[in-house]
Amino acid sequence: MTDHVVLRVIGKLLIPFILAYGLYVQAHGDFGPGGGFQAGVIVAAGLILYGLIHGVAATQRVVPPRLVEALAAVGVLIYAGVGVVTLVLGGNFLGYGALDHSPSHGQHTGVFLVELGVGVAVASVMLAIFYAFASRKPIASGGGRR
Amino acid sequence: MFVPVVIAVVLTMGMALVRALCGPTLYDRILALNMFGTVTVMLLSVSAFVAGRPDFLDIAMVYALMNFIGTTAVLKYFRYGDLGGTGHDVEPTRPEGEALR
């Protein structure tokens, strides 16, 4: 929809702030509403807005589907990896206290890393859902246009 | 203080829903849903202000954002019948002046 000047300009103005807001929600989850899931959804929403304006092909040039699939797995890997690291360091699975000298510091680090994993996984899965929906070819002969 | 404001805002949301349910054309419905979202943002902001919880403003911002993206997506789908295309106007899809229902 690059013919629509308002949408194109507003999208160009808005998308960087949406991505920055996603990072804010990701990092600010300790003190306010937010966390990995919400941050992932917001980051994916920014990319989906780009996809709506410029088409899904342009979005797939920015974030290829292979990268999306890999990042979805990497997010889960970060989450489970933190658990395995705490196990190796002598704690329970996902017992963040073992990550640092003092348990409260360890919990800070652990929750941050786990939320990072959730954010990466959710953002890529949301984007994968958008790709699956938007890559679908429209029904021929103008059907469904009501 | 809080209750009259909430009553007024919820009344506005109800009227927007009525317009969305029985709007004669598609654009009435889309505009009503967009306005419903905007009024929801207002409700969230009012409750943030009155309850003294500025956290809610974050949620209101996200809601406004999702409202914009959702409306854009619905409009694009109904205009081009395709969510992922580049959406160029290649040919007129319907005779001039025919209303969408």
pLDDT value at position A141? 52
Cα(A124)–Cα(A64) distance, integer angstroms? 11
CB B65 to CB A136 under 8 A? no
Q: Mean pLDDT across the stretch A115-140?
A: 88
A140 touches chain B (CB under 8 A): no
Do the beta carbons of residue B43 and residue B10 sit within 8 Å? yes
Cα(B56)–Cα(A36) distance, integer angstroms? 18
Query: Is residue A146 pLDDT above 50, yes or no?
Result: no
A32 touches chain B (CB under 8 A): yes
B84 touches chain A (CB under 8 A): yes
- pLDDT tier for residue B56 given thresholds of 50, 70 and 90: confident
A64-82 residues labelled b (16+ CB within 10 A) or e (exposed): eeeebeebbebbebbbeeb
Q: Domain boundaries in chain A?
A: 5-134
Q: Which residues contact B99 (CB under 8 A, 6 or more apart)?
A: B24, B25
CB A57 to CB B93 under 8 A? no
First to last CA, chain B: 41
Cα(A35)–Cα(A127) distance, integer angstroms? 18
Rounded alpha-carbon distances, angstroms, from residue B63 to A3, A47, B26, B90: 27, 17, 23, 34
Do the beta carbons of residue A29 and residue A67 sit within 8 Å? no
pLDDT digits (tens, 9 = 90+) for B16-55: 999 999 978 888 999 999 999 999 999 999 988 888 888 8
ipTM computed for the complex: 0.78
Query: Is residue A125 pLDDT above 50, yes or no?
Result: yes
CB A52 to CB B81 under 8 A? no
Query: Is residue A56 pLDDT above 50, yes or no?
Result: yes
Amino acid identity of A9? V
Query: Is residue A63 pLDDT above 90, yes or no?
Result: yes
**Of A32, A137, A144, which is closest to B58 when you measure between CB atoms?**
A32
Q: Which residues of A touch B89 (CB under 8 A)?
A: 3
